Amino acid sequence: MDFSVQSKDVWALHADARVLPRFEDAKAAGLPAKLAHALENAKKKKLFSGKKGEAWTTDGVILVGLGKSESFKPSSLLRVIGATYPTLRRLGASSVAIDLNGLPVESVSFAAQGLLDAAYRFDDFKKEKTPEWVEKVALASREHDASLHLKKALIVAEAVRKARDVDNQPPNVATPAFMAEQAQKIARAGGIKATVWDEKQLKAKGFNSILAVGNGSVHPPRFVVMEYAGGAKSEPWVAIVGKGITFDSGGISIKPGADMDKMKFDKSGACTVMAVMGALRDLNVKANVVGVLAFAENLPSGSAYRPSDLLRTFNGKTIEVLNTDAEGRVVLADALGYVFQQYKPARTVDLATLTGACCVALGEQFAGLFGNDDALMAHLQAASVQSGDAVWRMPLDEFEDDVKSEIADVKNIGHPKGYAGASTGAAFLKAFVSGPWVHLDIAGMAWLSSPKPYLTSGATGFGVRLLLAWLTQKTESTVAKPKK
Ligand code: BES
Ligand code: ZN
Ligand code: ZN
């Protein structure tokens, strides 16, 4: 797909199809007489009134509803514009013009990303590839800086695609070693230093909890550190940490068969982190960011770790394993322990498909946001609104007692009935944290089970836009001194 910004009226552009976003309260003024008339009729017949999610096609024009103008968010265009993609196919449109005049400049970015998201297909394993039918997209906008917004949007969209591509790989291909190789590939494109440790190095350095989780698999764990030093030397690190379980069978505490296939997406957090690292470089972001990826495969076998095992983690704290299926927090214990000791980051955000309980609480609408620093949480909430990656703040402190163990520093499950499972998961992680930190439980957001018009089923790349919005936020200086 070839995108361009055109500072013209949408009707002055040549295109096979036109997409016209409309507010609920919009007048028909400015439309060609024939279309204005058709729109009046459509309104009368309750076919289209501009409500959010509505779409109506007539004569090569797709009208899409934006809802009320006062509650409009540019990021809503990801879905609104993305959802026109199947219609564009039906119309056989290879060139499209989208009317963004009158909308804020960010609309240019989200309209382009929406189409690219919708057009994404994972067909590496298909003999017949899906052809791309939309070739040219003209974004009609007279906003200052629209071209710059488009340029950045293409980088962000590419990063989202990268995360989805790696995450969609099956676990017989995407072993921990394969995943580490993907991170190295991103780093090799320049500007990022990647370090990969294999099982021998992990043993020597004391990463016992990652090793324990991976011990049931013939594909041993990998730990990856990606350093992007785009800021001044004097500036502190910001850390992003991703859970990278290449397949989560539950291990000895094995999961039921239904939907177990979805546990190939248990590496989503790490996929997002590696894609973000590449995008920071491509966007030339002025910040020092370290990305940490913890890869292991959780399988049952004669060598698998077991309920009742006691583990000594990287920073010396101990874990009582009571359920081998709560493995994400176990690998993150080492990863967080390492990153705080080694980098003393001013801010740390981890992303993990950590708990089914988070899906129960927030469904496929929000990722759970937990943390120990109000300002940092507020920054991520702002980035969420800006980026369209939805998060919802959840409680944490009240659950710290639930993960205390009689015989170790923490145990890896909370309440025996699983009450507040997302919060007890976060409370466990907090034991390995020593600085401003946010945990994002992306279990409900990382993949889609059934396709939507704006997104195929499979990996979503959730978090890429959120982290990039946060790391490039103007309101927050990522270079500020860490709080004491
Ligand atoms: N990867 C799963 C969490 C998950 C489940 C994500 C379903 C998305 C959909 C995680 O490792 C896990 O199994 N967590 C357990 C924790 C429990 C044993 C305390 C869970 O959620 O059941
Ligand atoms: Zn699990
Ligand atoms: Zn898991």
For residues 287 and 366, give the distance between their C-alpha atoms in angstroms, rounded to a whole number.
Answer: 27
- How many whole angstroms from 344 Cα to the centroid of ligand 1? 29
Q: Which ligand is nearest the CA of 412, by number? A: 1
pLDDT, tens digit (0-9, with 9 covering 90-100), for 153-164: 999 999 999 999
Report how far residue 33's alpha carbon sits from residue 31's, in angstroms, rounded to the nearest whole number: 6
Q: What is the pLDDT of residue 268?
A: 99
Query: Mean pLDDT, the chain, as a whole number?
Result: 96
CA of 296, nearest ligand number: 3
What band does 477 get if pLDDT is binned at 50, 70 and 90?
very low
**Pocket probe mutation, ligand 1, options 167, 325, 419, 462, max atoms within 8 Å of Cβ:** 325
Q: Ligand 3 centre and the CA of 328: distance in Å?
A: 5
Residue 48 has a CB neighbour count (10 Å cut-off) of: 20
Contact 336, 432 (CB under 8 A): yes
**Statement: residue 479 has pLDDT above 90:** no
CA separation for the pair 383, 362 (Å, rounded): 19
What's the CA gap between 267 and 219, in Å, rounded?
Answer: 15
- DSSP states along 263-304: GGGGGHHHHHHHHHHHHHHHTT--SEEEEEEEEEEE--STT-
481 confidence band (pLDDT: 50, 70, 90): very low
Whether residue 269 contacts residue 295, with contact meaning beta carbons closer than 8 Å, is answered with no
Give dist(CA 464, CA 467) in Å, integer: 5
* Most distant CA atoms of the chain, gap in Å: 78
Q: Specify the pTM.
A: 0.97
Q: Which of 246, 258, 251, 341 is nearest to 294 (CA)?
A: 246
Q: Please say if the pLDDT value at position 195 is more than 50.
A: yes
Q: Which atom of ligand 1 is nearest to the CA of 355?
A: 21
240 alpha carbon to ligand 2 midpoint, in Å? Answer: 21
For the Cβ of 74 lying below 6 angstroms from any atom of ligand 1, the answer is no
Q: For 368, phi and psi rounded to 5 degrees?
A: -80, 135
What burial letters (b/e) apply to 363-394, b meaning 16+ CB within 10 Å? eeebbbbbbbbeebbebbbebbebbbbbbebb
| pLDDT over 80 at 475, yes or no | no
> pLDDT (tens digit, 9 = 90+) per residue, 431-456?
999 999 999 999 999 999 999 999 99
User: How remote is the CA of residue 327 from the centroid of ligand 1, in Å?
Assistant: 8
Query: 295-328: per-residue pLDDT in tens?
Result: 999 999 999 999 999 999 999 999 999 999 999 9
- Which atom of ligand 1 is nearest the CA belonging to 325? 13
Phi/psi of residue 434, nearest 5 degrees: -140, 60
**What is the rounded CA–CA span in Å between residue 280 and residue 284?**
6
Does the active-site annotation cover 329?
A: yes
Q: What is the mean pLDDT of residues 17-44?
A: 92
Q: Which of 253, 304, 228, 256 is nearest to 471 (CA)?
A: 228
Q: What is the pLDDT of residues 233-246, one digit of tens each?
A: 999 999 999 999 99
pLDDT above 70 (res 35): yes
pLDDT tens-digit readout, 393-430: 999 999 999 999 999 999 999 999 999 999 999 999 99
Q: Is the CB of 332 under 6 A from ligand 1?
A: no
Tell whether ligand 1 has an atom less than 6 A from the beta carbon of residue 421. yes
Is residue 483 scored above 70 in pLDDT? Answer: no
Please say if 126 is a catalytic residue.
no
Beta-bridge partner residues of 455: 452
User: Which of the residues 329, 347, 411, 465 is marked catalytic?
Assistant: 329
413 CB near ligand 1 (under 6 Å): yes
Our answer on whether the CB atom of 443 is closer than 6 Å to any ligand 1 atom is yes
CA–centroid distance, residue 131 to ligand 3 (Å): 35
- Evaluate if residue 478 carries a pLDDT over 80: no
Task: Give the pLDDT confidence score for residue 474 in this predicted structure.
Answer: 67
C-alpha distances in Å from residue 202, one per residue of 206, 222, 276, 309, 433:
6, 8, 25, 19, 20
Amino acid identity for residue 139 in this structure: L
Contact 228, 283 (CB under 8 A): no
327 lines ligand 1 (CB under 6 A): yes
Mean pLDDT of 115-144: 96
Identify which of 261, 271, 322, 355 to mutate to test ligand 1's pocket (most ligand atoms within 8 A of the CB).
Answer: 355
C-alpha pair distances (Å), 100 with each of 11, 216, 265, 297, 429: 12, 54, 35, 46, 44
pLDDT at 25: 79
Closest ligand to the CA of 353? 1
The confidence score (pLDDT) of residue 372 equals 98
Q: Decide: 353 in ligand 1 pocket, CB within 6 A.
A: yes
Residues near 148 by beta carbon (within 8 Å), at least 6 away in sequence? none
